[in-house]
């Protein structure tokens, strides 16, 4: 299995499917891994693109480092992977926390290698409510996730999969197999990495990164997202990126790569090929 080694010795696992077409990197949400994007990667590779997906450090098959479980290092790890593969004309696609990772990559490393950006149910611009971000969510929300992670992470992931992540507490009926896959991927994340990543996705301020985006950008968000509410995430991100295209999925939940798989794949392919 392929790995790339970062400057601090962490090994980042990745898959690299397809050849010939322009490359696409798919960045996953918390606390999942690249398997969350497997269907999209296969779809894009089947349609002529090179589809690459990696496990963020601490997640899946990558190193469970004690340090570096924050957004600066996540973005630098992504840069290491992109440089290692010498990718250009690249489309970055990020779901949830992955949307933060790819946006912060652009902020820290620029767009010399990047052609397009896609944010799916993504955490930017800033999830946490602060004095200068009154639209955000209160700290109690994230403290509650931290408490669940610390006390009984196995049940926390069951509760997320059975409820708000896929919208099964509303009108969705995502299969037991898909919910089990969420749990299995989540349990493959290191405990410290999963705990610290809660701060990374909730408290990292991506507003300056978004303001600096200078590539065509597509923002996709469900208007019934209970994890990253549309008004907190996609709506504001689209407004901050000059010329961004916003697609709102009516009644869409947070887990769009599974709940709206066919529609999402078609929208990704149309944007990448445009």
Active site residues: 96, 225, 254
| Beta-strand relationship, 245-249 and 11-17 | unpaired
Can you tell me the distance from the alpha carbon of 57 to that of 11, in angstroms, rounded to the nearest whole number? 8
3-state secondary structure of 95: strand
Can you tell me the distance from the alpha carbon of 248 to that of 23, in angstroms, rounded to the nearest whole number? 25
Take residue 246 and report the two structure tokens written for it: 């916003």
In sequence order, the β-bridge partners of residue 5 are 11
Helix (H) or strand (E) segment spanning residue 175: none
Question: What count of residues does the chain have?
Answer: 274
- Interacting residues of 42 by C-beta distance below 8 A, sequence separation 6+: 17, 51
Q: How many helices (H) and strands (E) does the chain have?
A: 10, 8
Give the CA diameter of the chain: 48
């Amino acid at each position: 299995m392929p790995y790339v080694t970062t400057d601090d010795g962490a090994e980042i696992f990745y898959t690299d499917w397809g050849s010939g077409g322009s490359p696409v990197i798919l960045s996953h949400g918390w606390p999942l891994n690249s398997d969350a994007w497997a269907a999209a990667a296969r779809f894009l590779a089947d349609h002529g693109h090179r589809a690459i997906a990696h496990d963020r450090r601490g997640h899946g098959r990558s190193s469970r480092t004690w340090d570096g479980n924050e957004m600066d290092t996540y973005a630098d790890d992504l840069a290491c992977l992109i440089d290692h593969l010498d990718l250009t004309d690249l489309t970055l696609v990020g779901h949830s926390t992955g949307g933060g990772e790819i946006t912060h990559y652009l902020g820290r490393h620029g767009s010399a290698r990047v052609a397009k950006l896609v944010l799916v149910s993504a955490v930017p611009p800033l999830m946490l409510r602060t004095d200068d971000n009154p639209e955000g969510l209160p700290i109690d929300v994230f403290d509650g996730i931290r408490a669940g992670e610390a006390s009984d992470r196995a049940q926390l992931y069951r509760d997320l999969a059975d409820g708000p992540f896929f919208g099964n507490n509303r009108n969705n009926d995502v299969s037991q197999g898909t919910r089990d896959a969420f749990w299995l991927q989540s349990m493959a994340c290191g405990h410290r990495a999963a705990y610290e990543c809660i701060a990374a996705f909730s408290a990292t301020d991506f507003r300056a990164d978004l303001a600096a985006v200078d590539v065509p950008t597509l923002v996709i968000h469900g208007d019934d997202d209970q994890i990253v509410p549309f008004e907190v995430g996609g709506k504001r991100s689209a407004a901050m990126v000059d010329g961004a295209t916003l697609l709102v999925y009516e009644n869409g939940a947070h887990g769009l790569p599974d709940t709206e798989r066919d529609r999402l794949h078609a929208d990704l392919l149309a944007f990448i090929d445009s």
